[in-house]
Amino acid sequence: MAGPSAPATPAAPWKRHIERQLRQRDRAQKARFLELVPAYNRLLEKAELLTQFSEKLQPEPNKVTPTAHQGLWEEESEPDSDQVSSPATLRMKWQEAEEGLRLVCGEMAYQVVEKSAALEALESELEKQQSRLAAQGARVAQLEETRAQLAGQVEERQALSAARRTAYDTLRAHARLREAALRRLEEDTHHLLEQLVQLKARAAAQRNLRNEHQQRAKQAQVLQELKKAVRKTVSINESPDTLGNVTREGALTLAPAAELVSQESEACEKKWKRPFRSASATSLTLSRCVDVVKGLLDFKKRRGHSIGGAPEPRYQSIPVCVAARLPTRAQDVLDAHLSEVNAVQFGLNSSLLATGGADRFIHLWNVVGGRLEANQTLVGAGGSITSLDFDPSVRGLCPKGLPGVGSHLQQGRPALEGGGGTVQAGIGGVWQETLSGHSDKVTAAKFKLTRHQAVTGSRDRTVKEWDLDRAYCSRTINVLSYCNDMVCGDHIIISGHNDQKIRFWDSRGPHCTQVIPVQGRVTSLNLSHDQLHLLSCSRDDTLKVIDLRVSNIRQVFRADGFKCGSDWTKAVFSPDRSYALAGSCDGTLYIWDVDTGKLESSLRGPHCTAVNAVAWCYSGSHVVSVDQGRKAVLWH
């Protein structure tokens, strides 16, 4: 196939490829006719020779002999008939050969027609292929143009990437300098905090010493005044008209010696004025006066204005869930933090959620339409957050962390945040005061049911009660093992410890009231809303339900595949206390029926790492779980 003259520039590879394919197809089509054309040519040559031979054999009209002489010629030729065939025989042979050639020529003509039709079909196919080749050529030209444009964009992107890499290197060097400065500042801050803790401790000691001196001085003054009052003569007023009838209706009035006492003893002075039967009963002993004064001082120390007065202010009641719904599927999955998520807690209205993680951030979320929508991010924690607690007043939040207690974020009231062995206080996320007392990492914190009080546990093996209004530690309890988690009741504090024991403390007493041993380090405690049952999770891969009315273990929950993933893995009751929920180290959630002790269901799916904490909303409709892989999952 002849083609156009070769261009000055070498042909593109795709053109050479197409040209080779066309040549191969031409050779293949030509090979099919190589045998047919020579055979057809030979047949034509034979047919032409036979035609010539037949023409020679036909007699000419003027040379035909008469019939009379024909017999003679035949007779004369008979002797040679054996050697030379007669014309009739040759004519018959020629006719037979001619008929055979006609048949062969017909077959060959039919094959020629078939081959011609096939050739036309191939030519039409060739035209189609040529049209496709032209279209593909146009497409290739367009792609080449697009490729050139993309190559230009790649060069621009490479230049931009190089510029950004240079800027990144510069920023990285600057960040290293800032990190070094930050480390220096953190060290300075740590030293300042230590100094501040020491100053606070000294100030607290001085304040306690000053208060003790003032109290002792006041007691000494009162005792001196009472001694003076005792030494004075007691006068007896007798009415003249009843003087002769003293033994029957005599009345003795105690001299007003109580005026020397402060105004706070006026309420008790009336009790001292009473009729006596003899004059010997009118003398007041020193021991009696001391007892009265001690009673007055103890009366001042009591909380409230009187023993039978109004009770301590308490938080409003927690909403009650009639029946919790078992979660069956994951509604929303998101990366909640920059690193491991350790804590999650629902608010009392079930639409506010808080999460805390190792990135020292606390994120607040709104549960809207089966999705978690970001609300607010709280910063300033001194360490990774390991657990969270909402203020029962519905307005605030108390997160705890390693190291630290976390934040009690409430409008118009202080916030608590722990770092190292301190608890920081602030308003609206701005830290304003530090509550010092713990000498090691604070690992757990809870609000008490009475207002403005909280309890913390630390690795320094102490449990402390805090007065949040006056921002000081009101009580310190020394424990043999550090606390991993705790819960608070009306007058009871329950703490779970690393020495595989659960301890009970009475807020009104100095000592531990009860100890319940478990098989494994206690990782979490959860108190039912009726405060009658306690759920504990421990490193022996079991959950236990403790009946607080009889102080014994009522149920033990186990399951194939359930393993506690860390020392701060949290397990919770459902709001109606019908189910117990915990997450395993393989990312599976396990739900047990509290009444029967059987495994109700197990939820698998979004979590690929250990589940650190779970939370069940107070309405009983949603569950949220968080894991070590930054994920928070909303279950419905």
d(CA 364, CA 337): 11
- For the record, the structure tokens of 415 come out as 């916030």
Alpha-carbon torsion, ordered 387, 392, 396, 399, to 10 deg: -10
486 φ, ψ (degrees, to nearest 5): -155, 160
Mean per-residue pLDDT for 481-502? 90
Residue type at position 560: D
For residue 378, is pLDDT > 80?
yes
Q: How far is CA 436 from CA 13, 194, 246, 350, 422, in A?
A: 81, 10, 67, 33, 5
Q: E strands of 565-618, at which residues?
A: 571-573, 579-583, 589-593, 599-603, 611-616
How far out from the chain centre does Cα 326 lie? 20
Which of residues 624 and 398 earns the better pLDDT score?
A: 624
Which of residues 505 and 6 earns the better pLDDT score?
A: 505
For residue 399, is pLDDT > 70?
no
pTM: 0.51
For residue 381, is pLDDT > 80?
no
Which of residues 509 and 173 earns the better pLDDT score?
A: 173
| DSSP-H helix ranges across 273-427 | 286-301
For residue 214, is pLDDT > 70?
yes
CB atoms within 10 A of CB 564: 24
For residue 306, is pLDDT > 60?
no
How far out from the chain centre does Cα 411 lie? 28
**Percent of the chain having pLDDT more than 70?**
73
pLDDT grade for 391, boundaries at 50, 70 and 90 = confident
Calculate ∠ Cα 311-315-317, nearest 5°.
110
pLDDT grade for 433, boundaries at 50, 70 and 90 = low
Per-residue pLDDT reduced to its tens digit, 329-357: 999 999 999 999 989 999 888 889 999 99
**pLDDT of 166:** 93
**pLDDT of 85:** 58
38 membership: H or E segment, kind and range: helix 36-57
For residue 143, is pLDDT > 90?
yes
- List the beta bridge partners of residue 620: none
Q: How far is CA 130 from CA 22, 118, 516, in A?
A: 10, 18, 92
How buried is 50 (Cβ within 10 angstroms: 0-12 exposed, 13-18 middle, 19+ buried)?
middle
pLDDT grade for 225, boundaries at 50, 70 and 90 = confident
376 membership: H or E segment, kind and range: strand 371-378
Strand order in the sheet with 415-419: 415-419, 422-427, 430-436
**pLDDT of 598:** 93
For residue 195, is pLDDT > 80?
yes
For residue 397, is pLDDT > 90?
no
Terminal alpha carbon distance of the chain: 74
**pLDDT of 307:** 35
Mean per-residue pLDDT for 122-150? 91
For residue 119, is pLDDT > 50?
yes
**pLDDT of 230:** 75
For residue 411, is pLDDT > 50?
no
Contacts of 448 (CB under 8 A, 6+ apart): 454, 455, 465, 488, 507
* Residues 482/438, Cβ–Cβ less than 8 Å: no
Report the b/e string of 440-466 with b at 16+ CB within 10 A: ebbbbbbbbbbbbbbbbbbbbbbbbbb
pLDDT grade for 449, boundaries at 50, 70 and 90 = confident
Which of residues 621 and 62 earns the better pLDDT score?
A: 621
Mean per-residue pLDDT for 420-436? 52
CB atoms within 10 A of CB 208: 11
Question: What is the DSSP code string of 320-354?
Answer: --S-PPPP-SEEEEEE-SSS-EEEEEE-TTSSEEE
Calculate ∠ Cα 402-408-413, nearest 5°.
155
**pLDDT of 77:** 44
Rg (CA), the chain: 55
Question: What is the DSSP code string of 475-495?
Answer: EEEE-SS-EEEEEE-SSEEEE
Alpha-carbon torsion, ordered 135, 141, 143, 148, to 10 deg: 180
Q: How many CA atoms lie within 13 A of 628 on its CB side?
A: 17
**Percent of the chain having pLDDT more than 90?**
33
Which residue segments constitute the domains of the chain, with CATH numbers given?
330-635 (2.130.10.10)
Mean per-residue pLDDT for 206-212? 84
**pLDDT of 570:** 94
Per-residue pLDDT reduced to its tens digit, 511-563: 889 999 998 999 999 999 888 999 999 999 999 999 999 989 999 999 999 99
For residue 406, is pLDDT > 60?
no
Mean per-residue pLDDT for 583-608? 94
Residue matched to tokens 């593909």: 136
**pLDDT of 593:** 95
Contacts of 133 (CB under 8 A, 6+ apart): 18
Q: Name the packing angle between helices 13-31 and 87-231 (round to 10°).
A: 150
User: Mean pLDDT for the chain?
Assistant: 76
For residue 360, is pLDDT > 90?
no
For residue 486, is pLDDT > 50?
yes
Per-residue pLDDT reduced to its tens digit, 244-263: 333 333 333 333 333 333 34
Residue matched to tokens 């739900």: 591
Per-residue pLDDT reduced to its tens digit, 22-63: 888 888 877 777 777 788 888 888 888 887 777 776 655 544
Which of residues 243 and 175 earns the better pLDDT score?
A: 175
